[in-house]
Amino acid sequence: MRIFTAALATETNTFSPICIDRRAFEASLYAPPGMHPETPTLCSAPITVGRRIAMQKGWEVIEGTATWADPAGLVNRLTYEELRDEILGQLRAAMPVDAVVLGLHGAMVADGYEDTEGDFLAHVREIVGPDILVCAELDPHSHLTEKRLAAANFFVYFKEFPHTDFVDRAEDLWRIAIDALEGRVNPVMSVFDCRMIDVFPTSREPMRSFVDKIMAMEKSDADILSISVIHGFMAGDVPEMGTKLLVVTDNKPDKGSAIARDLGLELFSKRGTFIMPQIDEKQAVSQAMAATSGPVVIADLWDNPGGGTAGDATVVLQELLDRGAADTAIGTIWDPMAVQICMAAGEGAEIPLRFGAKSAPGTGNPIDGHVKIVRLVTNAEMRFGESFAPFGDAAHIQLAGIDIILNSTRAQSFDPSLFSVMGIDPTTKKILVIKSTNHFYASFSKIASEILYCSAGTPYPNNPARTPYRRARKDIWPMVADPHAAERKDA
């Protein structure tokens, strides 16, 4: 067998003011054929898993380019077209192939392309023809469109949020692909539109039990090859935004449709109960300062670069400064200009510095102060599961007794190594402030005495009922109370 594999991915917050060009992909991951590292990134696990599969089975895996940009706003049109055509050219050169196995995200939006993954997959299908297997692993914070369904044989999505299972799901993708190529199964997709948009952390109920249930169903029913919840991405203002249920069966489309509908309506019945309870910055700081043990983790969940925001909001930091908090570390505030100033000054220098809150309204005000530069690191990285996440040149500064990490490459706070690589022992701090919605949970929960989810400022469009969508549908919950009511009445 000859299998072509590649990855092209980012997550687009269409409300973000930060546009993505080729430099953003190169800053996060740009690996031409054969240059992908041994450790996978979030959307490139099909490549590293494919290498191992090829060795085991004696197949040939032809690697195309793998590239990923950290989430932000609209992708530059020329950048998307160049990266797309680069991979498509590699596929043409690799022909004939028996299958195409891809790593995608599912929420990329480029200038002129509302459905970039649909466009990319349609081009792939055009090259390989109607009979060649085309499949992909995707992030559940994405949009499942008709164009994508028409172009591919099957999809597998991460099940966990935080996304700790991207390698496991790549294993599932390859398992189904192998069985299909060797004639044991015929994957068919069935989809149910839940007609809702919500946030579904699997680190808490009720989503934890729901994911456990669908995984048990996959194991107990030979007809079911895979079940995925496409959470949707509420910051993507595109026509097919929303939550969907995908069931891949062994040529049992009617059975798959019935299962998808039952599971989708079950998910809908629990709408509004999934997301973590949130408090504002004043309550979060009060609770953290009153705690008798630490570290207390304050998750600044809506200034999450993993959702496309800048990650430069200062609302929580200002509250900590106003309250005279001590034994506190902030990771991170994105400010490339401030990092450059710190790099020029050098470690040990004490300088006046303005930093943060430059990107958009609702992020607070810039912080002015006389800071000490404690540590400077070029090309800093933190762990993220089996992989590493870069956060660029970074500066550890101190202001009024608070340790602050300034970074030049936007990245959410995945792991406590974010602090330790900058010379801060996170376990010795009473308060840790991080920028992440839930990906932090898998690692930070191991050291935290308490986790507080803080809704501070308005850097992210987190209330779909009030978000000024122009292109997204308006016939889903919470824009309407019960979009399934008429259907149930007819039934």
Rounded percentage of the chain residues whose pLDDT exceeds 90: 96
Order of strands across the sheet that contains 431-434: 350-355, 367-384, 387-399, 402-407, 328-334, 431-434, 296-300, 450-454
The reported pTM is: 0.93
Question: Distances from the Cα of 253 to the Cαs of 260, 361, 400, 483, in angstroms?
Answer: 10, 48, 62, 24
The torsion angles phi and psi of 104, rounded to 5 degrees, stand at: -130, 175
**pLDDT over 80 at 489, yes or no:** no
Residue type, 12: T
| Side chain identity, residue 220 | S
pLDDT at 201: 97
pLDDT digits (tens, 9 = 90+) for 88-141: 999 999 999 999 999 999 999 999 999 999 999 999 999 999 999 999 999 999
For residue 487, name the pLDDT band (cuts at 50, 70, 90): confident
- pLDDT of res. 387: 82
Reading the block at residue 25, the tokens are: 């992909």
Mean pLDDT, the chain, rounded, equals 96
Confidence check: pLDDT of 433 > 90: yes
Angle between helices 315-323 and 281-290 (to 10 degrees): 50
Chain segment 28-62, per-residue pLDDT in tens: 899 999 899 998 988 999 999 999 999 999 999 99
Q: Which pLDDT value is given to residue 249?
A: 98
Does residue 232 contact residue 197 with C-beta atoms inside 8 Å? Answer: yes
Spell out the residues 6+ positions from residue 354 whose beta carbon is closer than 8 angstroms to its own: 338, 366, 367, 368
Cβ-proximal residues to 130 (8 Å cutoff; 6+ apart), any chain: none
Burial class (CB in 10 A: 0-12, 13-18, 19+), 290: exposed
Which pLDDT value is given to residue 37?
Answer: 92
Q: Please name the residue that has the structure tokens 């995984």.
A: 215
pLDDT at 364: 97
Residue 431: per-residue pLDDT: 98
